[in-house]
């Protein structure tokens, strides 16, 4: 763990539950099934919120599952050793999560009809969310200041690499029937419509009271209070005993409270340069 990451093909990965040999094994041997559901994201995009919503959609709003099984067991991270072991021989439809960039992903995904949801978020908010999370965690390199993390982020020297490359890679699947892009911002703005969109994509129908229960049980407050979803069980191991708080603020636009005017300008310029050829509707926050 020399520099606070494990490196695989030039991309920084977390130091816990992960080795390059293991990632090679996942890449070469994991077989997707048509009935699988895969959540993809750059870390801090709202991944766990989406897992909670999906868990509730599949249990028709009944909170028993989300209140009794930790979130990382409901939709394990494919790239972790724990996740891979759990998923590999699992019968029936599987939920899984991953932060791995497309070019390192198991190729069997692209031959399957597995449903894939990519959650995207304003990278400025991802940067701020990541900074506050990594300083309390023990599994990726800890930044010393927000200024330092800002530099790492724009250079792509953060866990899972460059946000710009991650997004560009995965959105190349846009237009495929089994691929959906959802933004954190649309989930925040109109959660009901976003959940309905998800149900349609997944071929799931909810009664009005079931939909209400999905919304209620996946709210920021409900997740903050649910120890199966708020990561409090990892305090003292992966997260700092006192300060580790995964459910931080849960809002859009918090970056405005932290970026200096100069940082905002630098970020704008880089964002424009790196995304100039991509469809603007991908970035509803801009
Ligand atoms: P903040 O740090 O900005 O609060 P991920 O799951 O990809 O690691 O993303 C974590 C971010 O999603 C955190 O953002 C967290 O607060 C936010 N989040 C988690 N559950 C949420 C919810 N139910 N509603 C809104 N935001 C949520």
Cα(155) to centroid of ligand 1, in Å?
23
Residue 22 half-sphere exposure toward CB, CA atoms < 13 A: 18
User: What global pTM score does this model have?
Assistant: 0.97
How many domains does the chain contain in total?
1
Can you give the pLDDT at residue 138? 85
39 lies in a domain?
A: yes
Check: CB of residue 267 under 8 Å from CB of residue 154. yes
Q: Rounded mean pLDDT of 256-274?
A: 98
The CATH number that applies at residue 194 is 3.40.50.300
Residue nearest to atom 17 of ligand 1 (CA): 250
* Ligand 1 neighbour 45 (Cβ under 6 A): yes
Residue 2 pLDDT > 80: no
82 lies in a domain?
A: yes
Phi-psi region of 233 (alpha: psi -120 to 50; beta: other; left: phi over 0): alpha
Cα(49) to centroid of ligand 1, in Å?
6
Can you give the pLDDT at residue 234? 84
134 lies in a domain?
A: yes
* 150: containing domain: 6-282
Can you give the pLDDT at residue 99? 98
Check: CB of residue 113 under 8 Å from CB of residue 50. no
* Ligand 1 neighbour 230 (Cβ under 6 A): no
* Ligand 1 neighbour 98 (Cβ under 6 A): no
For the stretch 49-80, pLDDT in tens is 999 999 999 999 999 999 999 999 999 999 99
For the stretch 169-179, pLDDT in tens is 999 999 999 99
The interface predicted TM-score of the complex, written ipTM, equals 0.99
1 lies in a domain?
A: no
* Ligand 1 neighbour 43 (Cβ under 6 A): yes
28 lies in a domain?
A: yes
For the stretch 195-244, pLDDT in tens is 999 999 999 999 999 999 999 999 999 999 999 999 988 887 788 867 66
Work out the mean pLDDT of the chain and round it to a whole number: 95
103 is catalytic: no
38 lies in a domain?
A: yes
Cα(253) to centroid of ligand 1, in Å?
13
């Amino acid at each position: 763990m020399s520099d606070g990451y494990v490196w695989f093909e030039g991309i920084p990965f977390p130091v816990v539950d992960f080795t390059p040999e293991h990632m090679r094994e996942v890449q070469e041997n994991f077989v997707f099934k048509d009935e699988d559901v895969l959540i993809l994201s750059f870390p801090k995009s709202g991944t766990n919120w989406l897992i909670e919503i999906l868990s509730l959609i599949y249990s028709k709003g009944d909170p028993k599952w989300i209140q009794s099984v930790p979130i990382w067991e409901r939709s394990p991270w494919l790239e972790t050793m724990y996740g891979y072991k759990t998923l590999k021989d699992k019968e029936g439809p599987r939920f899984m999560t991953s932060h791995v960039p497309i070019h390192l992903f198991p190729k069997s995904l692209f031959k399957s009809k597995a449903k894939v949801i990519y959650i995207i978020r304003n990278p400025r908010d991802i940067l701020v969310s990541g900074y506050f999370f990594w300083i309390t965690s023990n599994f990726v390199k800890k930044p010393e200041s927000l200024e330092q993390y800002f530099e790492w982020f724009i250079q792509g020297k953060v866990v899972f690499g460059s946000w710009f490359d991650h997004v560009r890679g995965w959105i190349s699947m846009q237009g495929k029937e089994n691929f959906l892009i959802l933004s954190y911002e649309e989930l925040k703005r109109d959660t009901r419509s976003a959940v309905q969109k998800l149900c349609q994509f997944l071929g799931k129908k909810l009664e009005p009271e079931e939909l209400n229960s999905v919304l209620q049980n996946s709210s920021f407050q409900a997740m903050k209070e649910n120890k199966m979803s708020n990561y409090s069980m990892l305090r003292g191991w992966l997260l700092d005993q006192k300060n580790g708080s995964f459910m931080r603020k849960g809002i859009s636009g918090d970056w405005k409270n932290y970026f200096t005017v100069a940082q905002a300008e630098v970020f704008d310029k880089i964002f424009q340069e790196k995304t100039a050829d991509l469809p603007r509707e991908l970035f509803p926050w801009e």
